[in-house]
A and B are shown apart, each in its own frame.
Chain A
């Protein structure tokens, strides 16, 4: 099962196994990982599952769509490497993925 590492803004690392097909957001929720709120439950309507993806992983994830980009406008401190974790679907290619959560989600 792919391993995903969630890093908090102050550097706390938490590596969990997430089944393929689930989103990085769902992986966090199911494993009680701190830093991801996911208020809307994955309907891409709230921007509270916002994460930063390191440069080397960014290219391996499916490209960002306009609707996600629009939603990220509402996120807390969005950056160039910002994504919504509900839109990152875990696959074997993403085994080892590291994401960092922002200081806060809302």
Chain B
């Protein structure tokens, strides 16, 4: 069991800045995120797109913003628990107990939900029969390359993931790359490699078409694809790999007894606490009259929420508001001055 002052759910920009606001107040935090790295939507949805409305930063990409936030919070040496989704939240007197999908257990007086629109999960194939083959013949990511050796693999998608894996797996398997339109979106080098392998008969490209039917009992035997002109083609297939990006799912958050408005959590605007004392919601996932889903709103929200977190984590201490420019204590916490 991990004991801390604040459990932060979500390592997006707002969750990261929460670490800072808590850290300068002397509070420890543990951060949990379902993705394999920090940044949330900034990294997953628009790493290369510039953002223009971060105060005093005229322009930066989602990746730059994330990297800078990580640098800003590095003095606090926070633990990040990636690839884990928070499944259960239960109360124990003044504390909250959090259990993750990897059965890690955390206990803290405060939970800060900075979960954006929910956790990222791969977008699944829409055919009903796809479900029963998932994990045996249908995959949405490659974790163990061995499974994909010496097989007939049909890869769906037109983006980087589909193209990169088509290249990689074509080294030892027969690859059919299937996409709904003729254009692929990928690095020019990757595209030319794919074309080269197609000429050599190592990769087969089928466009514009979509998955029509999957056949097989325990494992897939073949699939049928339907072209835009109505023509149907059957392709011998052992494995389907599908890359249609990620979707965001609210997941278990909806079951924690919090007052919700559709997919967002209702909070007050004094300290962004939910209807449960000690559970806060900040960033895109919270809502209140006038709420704007901006990163800068999230930054404001964590600053205020962290004050209440302090009061709950250190009930016998008095909270003192301090500026980072002048406070010796903050400078010590930031590692700028040695403790006297």
Interface-lining segment among B92-100, B244-252, B307-315:
B244-252
The answer to whether the Cβ of A93 comes within 8 Å of any Cβ in the partner chain is no
- Residue of A40, A47, A76 with most partner-chain B CB within 10 A: A40
In contact, A73 and B179 (Cβ under 8 angstroms): yes
Query: Could you tell me if B159 and A46 are in contact, using CB atoms closer than 8 angstroms?
Result: no
> Whole-angstrom distance between the alpha carbons of A87 and B249 in the complex?
23
A94 on interface, CB distance cutoff 8 Å? no
Docked-complex contact B293 and A70, CB < 8 angstroms: no
Q: A43-B46, A106-B123 are in contact. Are A73 and B185 (CB under 8 A)?
A: yes
Across the interface, do A70 and B123 meet the contact criterion of CB distance under 8 Å? no
Q: How many residues of B contact A (CB 8 A)?
A: 23
**How many residues on chain A are close to B (CB under 8 Å)?**
19
- Known contacts A40-B117, A45-B46, A78-B180; A73/B244 CB under 8 A: yes
List, in ascending order, chain A residues with CB within 8 A of B179's CB. Answer: 73
In the complex, the answer to whether A77 meets B185 with C-beta atoms within 8 Å is no
Question: Taking A39-B117, A73-B158, A73-B185 as contacts, is the C-beta distance between A47 and B245 under 8 angstroms?
Answer: yes
- Chain B residues lying within 8 Å of A74, measured Cβ to Cβ, are 123, 159, 244-245
Within the complex, what minimum Cβ distance (angstroms) separates B184 from chain A? 9
**How far is the CB of B298 from the nearest CB of chain A, in Å?**
13
Among residues of B, the one whose C-beta sits closest to the C-beta of A32 is B262
Q: State whether the Cβ of A23 lies closer than 8 Å to any Cβ in chain B.
A: no
B191 to chain A, nearest CB (A): 14
Cβ contacts under 8 Å, B117 to chain A: 39-40, 46
Given contacts A40-B117, A41-B293, A78-B180, A73 and B157 within 8 Å (CB-CB) = yes
Encode B238-258 as 1/0 by CB contact (under 8 A) with A.
000000110111000000000
Q: Does A80 contact B (CB under 8 A)?
A: yes
Does A69 make an interface contact (CB < 8 A)?
yes
Question: Do the beta carbons of B45 and A46 come within 8 Å of each other?
Answer: yes
Mostly helix, strand, loop or mixed at chain B's interface?
loop
Which A residues touch B245, using CB under 8 A?
A: 47, 73-74
Chain A: CB-nearest residue to B162: A73
The complex places the Cα of A48 from the Cα of B179 at a distance, in Å, of: 19
B327 to chain A, nearest CB (A): 36
Expressed in whole angstroms, the Cα–Cα distance for A45 and B123 within the complex equals 14
**B233 close to chain A: CB less than 8 A:** no
A70 is contacted by which of B46, B185, B228 (Cβ under 8 Å)? Answer: B185
Taken together as a complex, chains A and B put the C-alpha atoms of A41 and B116 apart, in Å, by 11
Least CB distance, A102 to chain B, in whole angstroms: 9
A46:B248 contact, CB within 8 angstroms: yes
Contact in complex: B157, A76 (CB < 8 Å): no
Instruction: Tell me, in angstroms, the Cα distance from A82 to B334 when the chains sit together.
Output: 51
Q: A39-B248, A73-B158 are in contact. List 18 more A-B contacts (CB 8 A).
A: A41-B284, A41-B293, A45-B41, A45-B46, A46-B45, A46-B247, A47-B245, A48-B247, A70-B158, A73-B157, A73-B159, A74-B244, A74-B245, A76-B123, A77-B126, A78-B180, A106-B123, A106-B247
Rank and list the top 10 A-B pairs by shortest CB-CB distance, nearest first: A74-B245, A45-B45, A106-B247, A39-B117, A70-B185, A73-B158, A41-B293, A39-B248, A74-B244, A45-B46
20 contacting pairs across A/B (C-beta < 8 A): A39-B247, A40-B41, A40-B117, A41-B293, A46-B247, A47-B245, A69-B181, A69-B183, A73-B158, A73-B159, A73-B180, A73-B181, A73-B244, A74-B123, A74-B245, A76-B123, A76-B126, A80-B228, A106-B248, A106-B249
